[in-house]
Amino acid sequence: MQKDDILRNIGNHLSSIYLLKDQYEIMKEILIMLSKITDCDYLSIFLLKNNPRKDLYEFFPLENRFQVRKSDINLHSEIITEVLTKKTHLLLKEKDKIKLKEGAGNASEILIIPGSLLQDVQGLIFVEKGLFSQEEISILSSLSSIIAFIILNSRHYKNLSDLVTQLRISYEISSSLIQEMNPDRLIERIFKEIRTHFGYDIIGVFILKDDGTLSLEYTVEENSIFKGFKLGLGEGIIGYVARTGESYYAPDVRKDKYYIEGVKGILSEFAIPLKIKDKVIGVLDINSRKEDDFPDSTRKLLSSLAALITISFENARLFEETKRLSKIDMLTGVLNRRTIEIEIERWIKRAKEEKKGLTIFFLDLDHFKEFNDRFGHQKGDEALKIFSDNLKKTIKEGVCGRYGGDEFICLFYDTEKEEILRIGNELIKRIEKNKKLKGITLSIGISSFPEDGKTMDELIRVADKRCYDAKRFGGNRLRE
């Protein structure tokens, strides 16, 4: 199951948690929910606030057993201090577990996740199992802010009975946000929920740009004519909120010194900063055609919603970044093997449909093993980075990926043979003249669709063999 599908399913499951009022049941449901994501041996949550007894909520998936006990956790230990300071997850191996003095004690790894809501850590989540995959760590970490939000709400349920109605509305909106990873669709759903629950239909999200201006990036369809409208920092109510980082309410805009007229007929306006780590990234602006139409309780709920919107923006950004990084070889910055193979298949299909040509470079560094043996693997990694930088500078119209070790593949679509040879020879000369590579040169094997093959395997095999032939004749050359 893909990460976004998992998050959608979890979003649906959250309904039962939000409607609970008992903290014991809320913690139990959170742990059960997390156990469904990963085949783990043990989970627990330790609340950092309003927890005088130092209760630890534990769940043992194999026994389907939930319990609460007093914890011996030391919040001032080196490990916990690191998690609370950096506000990011920490993976402990077997040798480090003894320092923690918590957990089931049998698993090989412990993942500690801070349940953090806008850098305010509400609790610590401990997950134990044999070995964690990067996908599991990514999903569990992505849920930390949602869990923190639930923990925070559990305290509200416990202390303020009149907050139940407000949180019901908050849940319906936040569950929509949790289930949607696409930023454009996300904002569309936010506007729909605000209109449905509050009746406000003049809504916009301004994003703070690198040049210091605020641009209206999202608005309701009937006001799309204003999309792209810009304000300076400190200009109007929206600019004032972005500059100060504080919410601002104008019960009667006709009397407000900061108000700048946009949509006709506006009588009251409420603007809320969207902040990450105290840095303003934008402003949620809501307007009404009624005077003083934002009661205190509504403003409080909209402010809470703005915080959740910010988290959702960040989660959507991180999700897109995660998808992007999943396609990239982290050392060299070019595509990884899986992605370059997908690209080859896609380009072959396109070439067949359009009856065009396709060229593959199979590239292999000469003398790389000797370089590694002489200078060490760290210098070898640096050499691969230098090579990939030259690859990206030389090949601007093609697509390149790391096939494995010091082998790379590049694709060219419907490119003239003379241009292919020019690019190949230019790259070979670049590598030969690079003094930092200290004797490393480059061999290239070339294959073409459909002349040398009609499948990915055939084209790679031919290009690989020609690259091998180039190396047999001394390297630092290409063979076609």
Domains within the chain, CATH numbers bracketed = 3-157 (3.30.450.40), 161-323 (3.30.450.40), 337-479 (3.30.70.270)
CB distance 393 to 431 below 8 Å: no
Angle between helical axes of 134-142 and 144-159 (0-180°, round to 10)? 30
What pLDDT sits at residue 328?
86
For tokens 């988290």, what's the residue?
Answer: 311
Measured on CA atoms in the order 97, 103, 109, 111, is the torsion positive or negative?
A: negative
pLDDT for 162: 41
Per-residue pLDDT of the chain (480 residues; tens, 9 = 90+): 455 565 556 655 655 565 555 778 888 888 888 888 788 889 999 988 877 678 899 999 989 999 998 888 888 888 889 989 888 888 888 656 555 555 555 667 889 999 887 778 888 999 998 888 888 888 888 777 777 877 776 666 555 544 555 566 666 666 665 566 666 777 787 788 788 888 898 999 999 998 999 999 888 877 777 888 899 999 999 999 999 999 999 999 999 999 998 888 999 999 999 998 788 999 999 999 999 999 887 888 888 878 777 877 777 777 777 777 778 888 988 999 998 999 999 999 999 999 999 999 999 999 999 999 999 989 999 999 999 999 999 988 889 999 989 999 999 999 999 999 999 999 999 999 998 998 999 999 999 999 999 999 999 999 999 999 999 999 999 999
How far apart CA 228 and CA 220 sit, in angstroms, is 13
Q: Determine the residue type at 389.
A: D
What spatial distance separates the first Cα and last Cα of the chain, rounded to whole Å? Answer: 42
* pLDDT value for 161: 46
Give the 3-state secondary structure of residue 91: strand
Give the chain's radius of gyration (CA, Å): 28
Residue carrying structure tokens 């690259």: 467
Phi-psi region of 339 (alpha: psi -120 to 50; beta: other; left: phi over 0): alpha
Check if the beta carbon of residue 410 is closer than 8 Å to that of residue 400: yes
CB 337, CB 402: distance < 8 Å: yes
Residue 34 CB contacts under 8 Å (≥ 6 apart), including other chains: 40, 43, 125, 127, 140, 143
The number of beta carbons lying within 10 Å of the beta carbon of residue 59 is 22
Count each helix (H run) and each strand (E run) in the chain, helices first: 15, 17
Q: Are 72 and 58 in contact (CB under 8 A)?
A: no
What is this structure's pTM?
Answer: 0.44
Core vs surface per residue 338-360: b (16+ CB within 10 A) or e: ebbbebbeebbeebeeeeebbbb
